[in-house]
Amino acid sequence: MTILKAENISKQYRLGNVGTGTLSHDLNRFWHNIRGKEDPYLKVGAVNDRSSKAKSDYVWALRDINFEVQEGEVLGIIGKNGAGKSTLLKILSRVTSPTTGVIKTKGRIASLLEVGTGFHPELTGRENIYLNGAILGMTRGEITAKLDEIVDFSGCEMYIGTPVKRYSSGMTVRLAFAVAAHLEPDILVVDEVLAVGDAEFQKKAIGKMQDISKGDGRTVLFVSHNMASVQNLCSRAILLKSGSIFIDGNVDEVVNEYLSIDSVLYSQSFAVLQTPQHKSVYIKSFKITSEVRTGATFSFEYEIVSQTEKQVDVAISFKTYQEVSIYQIYSGHTNEILILSNGCNKISGSIRELPLIQGDYSISLWIGSGAITFDFYPTIVRIKVLEGGFKKNHIAEYRNFPVIANANWTIND
């Protein structure tokens, strides 16, 4: 049975302003409306490509979205940042309304869109459970019956009588997910907030969503950039690109398409084409300067532009084809002191005895200072590691961010 249906959903925004932005546009819309004519601004608007220069005052965050979801189905919604995933879920959750189209649903929807959504910071965790439950349409008796189970699942029992404003983001999302998952919604909508939680809670949350769909026969819409989680949880996925559905089908096929789309496969270099205007420090280019072979020395170069003299840390992470991070080198862990000068700086580095077995990987780049991020690329190039000699204890295991110690860095040599 179809429990959710999206028909011709589109969402238009005006760039740079809230609402339509001008009185003349509002009056023009009103004049067309009372004459029974179409909104004149629905005929204009740019495609939702955040990396391109705006050529119109309007942009279509979503355009002509059509799909159905069956009862008990777990649907993954994936795509790059800015593809329209969160906008779609906000429309499905009735947080915002579509510009055109209609959403048809059967049953109650529970949404977990952002950390702290539906929570009041001055209320305690217990009070927020009742508040959030009421927002989701539950009676006080229903919430009370589930209260102990919710608190136990969240793992926040010690702080349940403390105002939520004193919670960490991880504690907040734990409590919010526990409320949304235990109040028996017909449709559970989760928008990549689980990334805030620790590994133990992410595993626990995914297990709960599997129980909801398989055990209770309820529907889950799941957005995540963790492709392993999407493949583990979902049987079907939708890939959004520039506000439109690019592909809708089997989860493995859609994930493979997502990982290959717009990526630089087996490339040796990357360069920024347009200078970022809002970044005081940014990565201008990255280049691999050696062969990529198991057990061999892996060498690379950065170009980083800084507006002032600044001490920074840099990191390179290696990820599997499913976007699971397995190894990282980080200048801070090898006690390297990297001080950027004003202008363009060249940083070179190398890894002795590359500990990756033969196969396909992607590389992400980060530059920051401590907990502060200046620039970050989640996938900058994709590489093929060739077979080579290695010592068994140097092979990277599939763990979460073990750090390679046998790396060195130099700057402006």
Q: Rounded CA gap, 12 and 87, in Å? A: 10
Give the pair of three-digit tokens for residue 216.
């209770």
pLDDT at 77: 92
From residue 314, alpha-carbon distances to 7, 11, 239, 335 in Å are: 46, 38, 31, 12
pLDDT at 110: 78
Q: Among the listed ranges 111-125, 190-204, 354-368, which one has the minimum average pLDDT value?
A: 190-204
Nearest Cα neighbor of 187 from 305, 102, 93, 327 is 93
Rg (CA), the chain: 24
In a domain, 102, yes or no: yes
pLDDT at 397: 44
Q: For residue 169, which phi and psi values (nearest 5 degrees)?
A: -60, -35
Q: Rounded CA gap, 99 and 102, in Å? A: 9
Check whether residue 327 and residue 362 sit in a common domain.
yes
Name the band, by pLDDT with cuts 50, 70 and 90, for residue 389: low
Tell which wins on pLDDT, 103 or 261.
103
pLDDT at 188: 84
Check whether residue 75 and residue 170 sit in a common domain.
yes
Q: Rounded CA gap, 151 and 133, in Å? A: 13
pLDDT at 191: 80
Domain boundary among 260, 294, 328: 260
Name the band, by pLDDT with cuts 50, 70 and 90, for residue 116: low
Check whether residue 236 and residue 306 sit in a common domain.
no
Tell which wins on pLDDT, 401 or 280.
280
pLDDT at 409: 73
In a domain, 85, yes or no: yes
With b for 16 or more beta-carbon neighbours within 10 A and e for fewer, the 196-215 pattern comes to: bbeeebbebbbebbeebbee
Residues sharing a CB contact under 8 Å with residue 156, sequence separation 6 or more, in sequence order: 125, 167, 171, 174, 175
In a domain, 194, yes or no: yes
Check whether residue 256 and residue 273 sit in a common domain.
no
Check whether residue 216 and residue 130 sit in a common domain.
yes
Kindly state the percentage of the chain with pLDDT values over 70: 80
Burial-class residue 156 by CB neighbours within 10 Å (0-12, 13-18, 19+). Answer: buried
| Torsion angle defined by CA atoms of residues 370, 372, 378 and 383, in that order, rounded to the nearest 10 degrees | -30
Q: Please say if the pLDDT value at position 396 is more than 60.
A: no
Kindly state the percentage of the chain with pLDDT values over 90: 12
Name the band, by pLDDT with cuts 50, 70 and 90, for residue 399: very low
Most confident of 64-78, 214-228, 334-348: 64-78
In a domain, 212, yes or no: yes
Q: Rounded CA gap, 384 and 264, in Å? A: 12
In a domain, 388, yes or no: yes
Check whether residue 275 and residue 252 sit in a common domain.
no
Q: Rounded CA gap, 364 and 130, in Å? A: 41
**Cα 266 → chain centroid:** 24
Q: For residue 368, which phi and psi values (nearest 5 degrees)?
A: -170, -160
Tell which wins on pLDDT, 32 or 333.
333
Domain boundary among 260, 285, 312: 260
pLDDT at 267: 64
| Torsion angle defined by CA atoms of residues 336, 337, 343 and 346, in that order, rounded to the nearest 10 degrees | -20
Name the band, by pLDDT with cuts 50, 70 and 90, for residue 7: very high
Domain boundary among 238, 260, 282: 260
From residue 178, alpha-carbon distances to 108, 172, 209 in Å are: 16, 10, 11
| CATH assignment at residue 166 | 3.40.50.300
pLDDT at 23: 62
Contact yes or no for 208/153 (Cβ under 8 A): yes
Check whether residue 251 and residue 299 sit in a common domain.
no
Q: Rounded CA gap, 33 and 23, in Å? A: 15
In a domain, 53, yes or no: no
pLDDT at 384: 82
Check whether residue 160 and residue 105 sit in a common domain.
yes
Q: What is the pLDDT of residues 159-195, one digit of tens each?
A: 899 998 898 878 888 888 888 888 777 888 888 766 6
In a domain, 211, yes or no: yes
Check whether residue 301 and residue 194 sit in a common domain.
no
Check whether residue 236 and residue 299 sit in a common domain.
no
Name the band, by pLDDT with cuts 50, 70 and 90, for residue 18: low
Our count of domains for the chain comes to 2
Q: What is the pLDDT of residues 309-350, one digit of tens each?
A: 988 888 888 888 777 788 888 887 767 788 889 999 998 888
Contact yes or no for 258/241 (Cβ under 8 A): no
Judged by phi (left if over 0) then psi (alpha if -120 to 50, else beta), residue 64 lies in left
Contact yes or no for 201/181 (Cβ under 8 A): no
Check whether residue 220 and residue 361 sit in a common domain.
no
Q: Rounded CA gap, 44 and 29, in Å? A: 13
Please state, rounded to an integer, the average pLDDT across all residues of the chain.
79
pLDDT at 193: 65
Check whether residue 308 and residue 185 sit in a common domain.
no
Q: Please say if the pLDDT value at position 52 is more than 90.
A: no
pLDDT at 398: 39
In a domain, 327, yes or no: yes
Range of the domain at 306: 269-411
Q: Rounded CA gap, 44 and 160, in Å? A: 50
Residue type present at position 382 = R
